[in-house]
Structure formats: structure tokens, C-alpha cells
């Protein structure tokens, strides 16, 4: 059957690499924002730890064909300890993030989660010996000031959920720094394979203490959650593969308005003005750091 003319024109369009990268990143942002909404919805019936486990388990099943094609040889390494540390950081991030989403308004959680690159700057200086310029240090401090605007210490806004979001940002930074160190000697296939395999038992152990047998419908929803998460991560990977990271990463911040819309229409959450002000400060600071990082690596960051 012949394709409709509109489909033919869309498929034949010559889309530039930056536009492709932007579209992939917007798809990633929408998927990951949707993931936050699904976790919030499912946490009313299942413990967040269990949701995190099934996200890892079904994610493993989704990626298993790719893992089989990679072969057992990809697991040969002399850096098992660092792989284990990276996966432990990843598991802690997911467990705390999913737990926080059951407590914190979605827009607040996403905005505070954007502080992770700020912790990367600090960790790179402390553990990898990287030199932090004065301007980058000022941008980092401004980013943390943005987080304080959202948290409003002393106003009663700071709670366990907000603390969990910040702690998950710290552990995510640890995971990213571990990947940065591993990438100096290890292939990407090995880093991904170890993460997918290790995350299942690491999230299962704490889940056993709060286990609730899911219903068939919940299993379908959990599989869908894993699919959405995998799509988001795949789209992000495709984005940075077809275009410069410095050009497409700003589109990742679309997660915030996407999450705010989900929070408003589904959960009746209305972010206040200070949340948006703090988010703008955090995003501006992390964008500045990202641009400077790209420039230091010789990437055409300003384009």
C-alpha cells in the first residue's frame, strides 16, 4: 500500500543534525518527565523500592537482546570495584529518587534534581583532581543558591522528600564521575552491561523488606514504566550521538515544564513563584558550567 504523501514528505525531509539532536532530547525530556508521573501514580499502590526494582528488572529484559549480542567477552575487566561502585551509586539514586517522587511535588523534584551537575563539579575537583576555575565555582555556588530558594530553609518546605532529592543528586553525580573515570579504559558496551546486570540485585535486596506481590495490571504498568525509562535514556543517547552535547543538553531542561504540566493536570499541583525562580537560577548555573566544560574540551559550545 502506498504511503500517504504527508508521510513520504516527512520521511524524505533532510533534517540537520542539530535539529535531530534537539528533537531526540525533547523526546527524552518528555519520556523522563512521564516517568516521574508514572512513579508518583504507582507509589500509591506499591512501595517505591519495589517500583525501582521492577524498573531495573524489566529494563534488563528489554535490553537482554542487545546484551546477548554484546557477548560475554565485554565483561572482562580489571576494574570490577569501580563498576560495583558506579552501580551502587546508580541503585541508591533510583531508590531515593523514586521514594522522593511519592513525597515532593513533581516540578520541585525535577528542579532540585538539576543540581546534580553542580555536585559533579565538586566531586571532580575533590576526587579526580580537576581544576575548577573561579567563574565555574561562582556558577556552582549560584546553583546551590537556587536550590535554597526552592527549599526555603526555616519555612517548613524542607522535608524528607526534598532531602532525598538532593541526596539522589549527589549519588547521581557519583555515578557520573565513576562513568567518567571508567570511560578512560573501558568500552561503552561494558559500562552499560555491568549497570544493567548489577542494578537488578542491588535494587532487589532492599525491596525484599517491603515486598508486596503486584497484581497483573500493576505488572503491566511496571513494564510500561521500564519501557518509558528505556525510551528516555535511548533518546538522550541518540541526541548526543547526532549533535554536540553542548547544543542539545539545554533541551533536557524541558523536563521541568513537562513535569509541571503532569503535576498540574493529573495531581493538581501548582508550583509557586519561588520554585520557578530557583529553577531558573539552577538551570542558568548548570548551563554555564556545561558551556565552559564544552569549551575546555574544544567543542564548539557557542554554536
Q: Over the stretch 41-53, which tens digit does the pLDDT of each residue have?
A: 999 999 999 999 9
Structural domain boundaries enclosing 65: 25-296
Measured distance between the N- and C-terminal CA atoms of the chain, rounded to whole angstroms: 42
pLDDT of 131 > 90? The answer is no
pLDDT of residue 277: 95
Give the pLDDT confidence of 273-293 residue by residue, as tens digits. Answer: 999 999 999 999 999 988 877
Of 126-135, 200-209, 289-298, the range with the lowest mean pLDDT is 289-298
**Rounded Cα distance, 132 and 255, in Å:** 28
For the cut 70, the answer to whether the pLDDT of residue 158 exceeds it is no
Place of cell 573561579: 134
Whether 74 contacts 193, CB under 8 Å: yes
What gap in Å lies between CA 21 and CA 204, rounded to an integer? 35
Give residue 120's pLDDT: 92
Question: Does residue 19 lie in a domain region?
Answer: no
More reliable by pLDDT, 10 or 278? 278
Out of 141-145, 149-153, 177-181, least confident range: 149-153
- pLDDT at residue 33 is higher than 50: yes
Mean pLDDT for 103-132 is 92
Please say if the pLDDT value at position 125 is more than 50: yes
If you average pLDDT over residues 156-181, what whole number do you get?
Answer: 89
| Within a domain: 182 | yes
| 271 pLDDT tier (thresholds 50, 70, 90) | very high
pLDDT band of 298, cuts 50, 70, 90? low
Which candidate, 267, 279, 270, places its Cα nearest to that of 38? 267
Task: Give percent above pLDDT 90 in the chain.
Answer: 65
Contact 225, 55 (CB under 8 A): yes
Which is more confidently placed, 13 or 21?
A: 21
> For 98-119, what is the mean pLDDT?
95
Per-residue pLDDT at 17: 81
Kindly give the interhelix angle for 17-42 and 216-242, rounded to the nearest 10 degrees. 160
Q: Is residue 303 part of a domain?
A: no
Q: What's the whole-model pTM score?
A: 0.89
Q: What is residue 14's predicted lDDT score, i.e. its pLDDT?
A: 66
Cell of 33: 518527565
Overall number of domains in the chain: 1
pLDDT of 184 higher than 90: no
Burial of 3 (0-12, 13-18, 19+ CB in 10 A): exposed
Q: Where are the alpha helices (DSSP H) in 43-159?
A: 48-70, 80-101, 106-113, 116-127, 134-151
**Is the residue at 14 inside a domain?**
no
Q: Quick one: pLDDT at residue 255?
A: 96
Amino acid at each position: 500500500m502506498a504511503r500517504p504523501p504527508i508521510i513520504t514528505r516527512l520521511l524524505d525531509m533532510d533534517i540537520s543534525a542539530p535539529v535531530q539532536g534537539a528533537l531526540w532530547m525533547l523526546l527524552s525530556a518528555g519520556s523522563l518527565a512521564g516517568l516521574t508521573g508514572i512513579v508518583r501514580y504507582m507509589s500509591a499502590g506499591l512501595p517505591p523500592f519495589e517500583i525501582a526494582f521492577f524498573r531495573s528488572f524489566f529494563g534488563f529484559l528489554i535490553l537482554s537482546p542487545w546484551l546477548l549480542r554484546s557477548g560475554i567477552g565485554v565483561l572482562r575487566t580489571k576494574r570490577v570495584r569501580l563498576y560495583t561502585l558506579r552501580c551502587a551509586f546508580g541503585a541508591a539514586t533510583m531508590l531515593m529518587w523514586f521514594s522522593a517522587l511519592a513525597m515532593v511535588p513533581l516540578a520541585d523534584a525535577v528542579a532540585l534534581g538539576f543540581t546534580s551537575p553542580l555536585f559533579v563539579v565538586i566531586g571532580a575537583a575533590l576526587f579526580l583532581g580537576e581544576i575548577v576555575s573561579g567563574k565555574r565555582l561562582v556558577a556552582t555556588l549560584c546553583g546551590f543558591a537556587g536550590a535554597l530558594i526552592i527549599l526555603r530553609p526555616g519555612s517548613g518546605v524542607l522535608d524528607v522528600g526534598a532531602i532525598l532529592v538532593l541526596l539522589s543528586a549527589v549519588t547521581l553525580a557519583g555515578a557520573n564521575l565513576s562513568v567518567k573515570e571508567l570511560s578512560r579504559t573501558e568500552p561503552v558496551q561494558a559500562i552499560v552491561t555491568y549497570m544493567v546486570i548489577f542494578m537488578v540485585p542491588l535494587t532487589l535486596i532492599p525491596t525484599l523488606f517491603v515486598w508486596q506481590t503486584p497484581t497483573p495490571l500493576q505488572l503491566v504498568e511496571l513494564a510500561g514504566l521500564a519501557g518509558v525509562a528505556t525510551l528516555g535514556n535511548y533518546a538522550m543517547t541518540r541526541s548526543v550521538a547526532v549533535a554536540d552535547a553542548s547544543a542539545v543538553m539545554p533541551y533536557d531542561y524541558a523536563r521541568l515544564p513537562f513535569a509541571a504540566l503532569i503535576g498540574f493536570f493529573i495531581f493538581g499541583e501548582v508550583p509557586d513563584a519561588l520554585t520557578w525562580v530557583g529553577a531558573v537560577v539552577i538551570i542558568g548555573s548548570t548551563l554555564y558550567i556545561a558551556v565552559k566544560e564544552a569549551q575546555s574540551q574544544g567543542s564548539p559550545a557557542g554554536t
